[in-house]
């Protein structure tokens, strides 16, 4: 059974989320929004709104992802998230509240730029998420405790494992990365700092943060908990720092950057540095973790390239990104200005 604009009102009635009258009045607006799993926004004539995910191929791996998301959405001690309504395991459906007039942070920053109140909110909400005591045993069996794929680049065996997927662009990227032997060693070294102590979001990026503009403030919520896992909290933090850097890199092509010039032009943008510093100051869970955070950010830049390489040739982009990632991983001290004054 697959949901569509025609059967959805009846489905929500059957599950007790709408009265008979409300379901008869029908759907006012329906908008597909998801990527991996099939997400859509549903606004009913009666004014009740939902965000629904239904996985396209209900095979095991995918249903596990939705199950993870349902577990976090039901956690009572973390409130900066949509309201959970139901998880229908049989049909691979998850229903939660539609956050009204929300934009994801990716859209928001594209339109508004790097506003400081957003950095503050984001730091506070992410640190709150990492301090929540989730019942770990909920997640233990089902969540894989593998470190992120990018760490596999650190060893020859890991690189072969990644190449086994036989994705043309991935293989091409790995070969391009292998042109930086000291980077491979630095990745292996950074892997030793990976600590799986916290329940982390696992897919932290701007698109998975929702922002609502209130009268004179902003409200931030986290979404898309499909990849929660026991991991290193700084990995989530690095996801945000990397997302911000990627926005900057795409905006201006920093072609003038060479690994031989002392500083990356990123560091010259005061508004941008202020934004990251504000985010980090408000997160403030781990003091003196800046060096590791910058290294993780470099790793996430490479991880992002690996993600894009699943669909497209990234060799050109890699030429710009890899020297920066390498610098961040091998000489993180140079980039402290991104995080602290």
Rule CB under 6 A: which residues touch ligand ADP? 33-37, 39, 51, 82, 96-99, 102, 104, 207-208, 210, 223-224, 226
Stretch in the footprint of Mg ion (CB under 5 A) among 8-16, 223-231, 302-310, 319-327: 223-231
Q: Does 221 bind Mg ion (CB under 5 A)?
A: no
Which residue lies nearer to Mg ion by CB, 227 or 290? Answer: 227
How far is Cα 109 from Cα 203, in angstroms, rounded to an integer?
Answer: 18
Closest CA to 114 of 10, 2, 243: 243
Least Å distance between CB 288 and ligand ADP? 33
Which residue lies nearer to ligand ADP by CB, 96 or 170? Answer: 96
Q: How many CB atoms lie within 10 A of CB 6?
A: 10
How far is Cα 67 from Cα 259, in angstroms, rounded to an integer?
Answer: 44
Which residue lies nearer to ligand ADP by CB, 65 or 325? Answer: 65
Number of shown-chain residues binding Mg ion (CB under 5 A): 2
- DSSP annotation of 87: E
Which residue lies nearer to ligand ADP by CB, 99 or 162? Answer: 99
**DSSP assignment string, 138-158:** HHHTTS--PPPGGGGGGSHHH
Find all residues with CB under 8 Å of 250, minimum gap 6, and list them: none
Least Å distance between CB 156 and Mg ion? 33
For 107, 114, 122, 165, the CA distances from 249, given in Å and listed in that order, are 16, 14, 21, 29
Q: What b/e sequence results for 18-45 when a residue is b if at least 16 CB atoms lie within 10 Å of its CB, and e otherwise?
A: beeebbeeebeebeeebeebbbbbbbbe
| One residue of 96, 208, 242, 326 binding Mg ion per CB under 5 A | 208
Least Å distance between CB 318 and ligand ADP? 24
Q: Does 227 bind Mg ion (CB under 5 A)?
A: no
**Residue 129's binding partner out of Mg ion, ligand ADP, none, with CB under 5 to 8 Å set by partner kind:** none
Least Å distance between CB 15 and ligand ADP? 17
Rounded to the nearest 10 degrees, the angle between the axes of helix 168-177 and helix 315-330 is: 40
Q: How many CB atoms lie within 10 A of CB 142?
A: 13
How far is Cα 238 from Cα 4, in angstroms, rounded to an integer?
Answer: 37
How far is Cα 114 from Cα 170, in angstroms, rounded to an integer?
Answer: 32
Q: Does 278 bind Mg ion (CB under 5 A)?
A: no
Which residue lies nearer to Mg ion by CB, 224 or 236? Answer: 224
Q: Does 96 bind Mg ion (CB under 5 A)?
A: no
Which residue lies nearer to Mg ion by CB, 208 or 221? Answer: 208
* Residue in the block written with tokens 């980039």: 335
Burial environment of residue 320 by CB neighbours within 10 A (0 to 12, 13 to 18, 19 or more) = middle
**Contact yes or no for 325/259 (Cβ under 8 A):** no
**Residue 96's binding partner out of ligand ADP, Mg ion, none, with CB under 5 to 8 Å set by partner kind:** ligand ADP
Least Å distance between CB 108 and Mg ion? 14
Stretch in the footprint of Mg ion (CB under 5 A) among 201-209, 253-261, 279-287, 327-335: 201-209
Which residue lies nearer to ligand ADP by CB, 22 or 207? Answer: 207
**Residue 34's binding partner out of Mg ion, ligand ADP, none, with CB under 5 to 8 Å set by partner kind:** ligand ADP
């Amino acid at each position: 059974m697959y949901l569509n604009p025609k059967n959805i009102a009846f489905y929500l009635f059957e599950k007790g989320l709408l009265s008979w009258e409300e379901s008869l009045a029908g759907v006012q607006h329906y908008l597909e929004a998801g990527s991996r799993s099939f997400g859509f926004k549903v606004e009913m004539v009666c004014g009740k709104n939902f965000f629904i995910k239904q996985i396209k191929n209900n095979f095991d791996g995918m249903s596990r992802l939705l199950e993870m998301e349902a577990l976090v959405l039901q956690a009572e001690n973390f409130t900066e998230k949509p309201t959970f309504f139901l998880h229908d395991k049989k049909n691979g459906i998850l229903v939660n509240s539609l956050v009204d007039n929300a934009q994801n942070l990716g859209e928001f920053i594209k339109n508004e730029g790097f506003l400081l109140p957003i950095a503050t909110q984001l730091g506070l909400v992410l640190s709150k998420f990492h301090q929540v005591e989730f019942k770990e045993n909920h997640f233990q069996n089902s969540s894989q405790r593998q470190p992120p794929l990018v760490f596999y680049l650190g060893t020859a065996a890991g690189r072969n494992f990644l190449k086994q997927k036989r994705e043309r662009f991935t293989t091409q990227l790995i070969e391009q990365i292998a042109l930086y032997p000291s980077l491979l060693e630095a990745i292996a070294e950074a892997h030793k700092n990976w600590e799986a102590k916290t329940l982390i979001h696992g897919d932290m990026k701007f698109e998975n943060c929702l922002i609502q503009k209130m009268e004179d403030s902003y409200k931030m919520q986290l979404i898309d908990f499909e990849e929660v896992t026991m991991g290193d909290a700084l990995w989530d933090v690095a996801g945000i720092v990397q997302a911000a850097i990627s926005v900057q890199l795409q905006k201006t092509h920093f072609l003038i950057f060479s690994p031989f010039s002392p500083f990356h032009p990123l560091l010259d943008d005061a508004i941008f540095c202020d934004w990251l510093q504000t985010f980090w100051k408000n997160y403030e869970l781990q003091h003196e973790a800046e060096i590791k955070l910058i290294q993780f950010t470099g790793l996430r830049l490479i991880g992002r390239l690996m993600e894009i390489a699943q669909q497209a040739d990234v060799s050109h982009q890699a030429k710009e990104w890899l020297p920066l990632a390498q610098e961040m991983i091998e000489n993180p001290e140079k980039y402290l200005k991104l995080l602290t004054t």
